[in-house]
């Protein structure tokens, strides 16, 4: 890391709510200045910023839609300019549009691929230039157990999350010699707005496949991200860390 500003800086896409918010807070606790990206939930992002600042670091909310390549470039540039560096990028922003494939329209497929996979590609592309110049960086992509094992009714989501794993491993190989690690975290069934929206029967079925016998919480995912974001994880790259109570075994 450069000597210019002693506190490292992180950018978390979709950082205002759910797992992204927990990641912002965990990184703040670990001493990172934090850029909290949001698409439309500005009040939630501002609350997350206030909560990070209360932990003793600097934080800002940055609006950007990760489906737009121009927004992603601008987001990464602004994040790097705000704190004079960018050490960590967490590609967390994600959406679902669940349907069985017979009912799934092309728009349903494109919407999910665009936010979950192309958004991460755009942000990685923008961030890797800075990180290679720094000869230091940590990129963490939030995948899913569904990307490893598939799930009926989520072919679009599973494809996007499996794609993220391929993206992660390829970039890990491209940047390994430059001090930049690229890893994925694959959460299982975590209590957030995303899973609250599931039908009760689907929730019960998902819960039934968790050996730990409970839904995970966003802080448990954030702890894994913070580990991979730390300097001490520098020899770990191209890995998929499941945080799933054994769901994917």
Active centre residues (catalytic): 157
19: contact with ligand NAP by CB under 6 A:
yes
Residue entry with tokens 């702890």: 223
121: contact with ligand NAP by CB under 6 A:
no
Least distance (Å) between residue 4 CB and ligand NAP: 28
Q: Which stretch binds ligand NAP (CB under 6 A): 76-84, 168-176, 189-197, 227-235?
A: 189-197
Q: How remote is the C-alpha of 25 from its chain's centroid?
A: 14
Q: Is 197 exposed, middle or buried (0-12, 13-18, 19+ CB in 10 A)?
A: exposed
Residue 201 near residue 175, CB atoms below 8 Å:
no
Q: Which stretch binds ligand NAP (CB under 6 A): 1-9, 24-32, 34-42, 122-130?
A: 34-42
14: contact with ligand NAP by CB under 6 A:
yes
Dist. CA 245–CA 212, nearest whole Å: 5
193: contact with ligand NAP by CB under 6 A:
yes
Structure tokens at 177: 């010699």
Taking residues 85 to 104 in sequence order and writing x for each that binds ligand NAP by CB under 6 A, - otherwise, the string is -------xxxx---------
Select 8 or 16, whichever has its Cβ closest to ligand NAP. Answer: 16
Dist. CA 110–CA 214, nearest whole Å: 32
Q: Which stretch binds ligand NAP (CB under 6 A): 27-35, 78-86, 168-176, 190-198?
A: 190-198
User: How many chain residues bind ligand NAP (CB under 6 A)?
Assistant: 29
Closest by CA position to 123, among listed 233, 241, 15: 15
Least distance (Å) between residue 101 CB and ligand NAP: 19
CA atoms within 13 A on the CB side of 68: 10
Dist. CA 82–CA 235, nearest whole Å: 28
67: contact with ligand NAP by CB under 6 A:
yes
141: contact with ligand NAP by CB under 6 A:
no
Question: How many other CB atoms sit within 10 Å of the CB of residue 112?
Answer: 24
Choosing from 38, 83, 121, 122, the residue that interacts with ligand NAP (CB under 6 A) is 38
Type and span of the H or E element at 18: helix 18-29
Least distance (Å) between residue 31 CB and ligand NAP: 23
Annotated binding site for NADP(+): 14-17, 92, 157-161, 190
Dist. CA 177–CA 137, nearest whole Å: 11
- Could you tell me where the beta strands, DSSP code E, fall in 23-158? 33-38, 59-63, 88-91, 137-142
**Site residues for ligand NAP per CB under 6 A:** 13-14, 16-20, 37-41, 65-67, 92-95, 115, 142, 144, 187, 189-190, 192-195
């Amino acid at each position: 890391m450069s000597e210019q500003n002693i506190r490292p800086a992180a950018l978390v896409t979709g950082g205002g709510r759910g797992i992204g918010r927990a990641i912002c807070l965990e990184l703040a606790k670990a001493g990172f200045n934090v850029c909290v990206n949001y698409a439309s939930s500005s009040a939630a992002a501002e609350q997350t910023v206030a909560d990070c600042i209360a932990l003793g670091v600097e934080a800002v909310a940055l609006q950007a839609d990760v489906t737009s390549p121009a927004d992603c470039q601008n987001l990464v540039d602004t994040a790097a300019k705000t704190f004079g560096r960018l050490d960590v990028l967490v590609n967390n922003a994600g959406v679902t549009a669940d349907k069985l494939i017979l009912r799934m329209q092309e728009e349903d497929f494109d919407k999910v691929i665009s936010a979950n996979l192309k958004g991460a590609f755009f942000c990685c592309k923008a961030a890797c230039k800075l990180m290679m110049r720094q000869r230091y960086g940590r990129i963490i992509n939030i995948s899913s157990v569904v990307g490893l094992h598939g799930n009926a009714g989520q072919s679009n989501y599973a494809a996007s999350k499996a794609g993220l794993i391929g993206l992660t491993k390829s970039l890990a190989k491209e940047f390994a010699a430059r001090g930049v690690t690229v890893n994925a975290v694959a959460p299982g069934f975590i209590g957030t707005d995303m899973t609250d929206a599931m039908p009760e029967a689907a929730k019960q079925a998902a819960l039934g496949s968790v050996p730990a016998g409970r839904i995970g919480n966003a802080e448990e995912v954030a702890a894994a991200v913070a580990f991979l974001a730390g300097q001490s994880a520098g020899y770990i790259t191209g890995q998929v860390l499941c945080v799933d109570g054994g769901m994917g075994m």
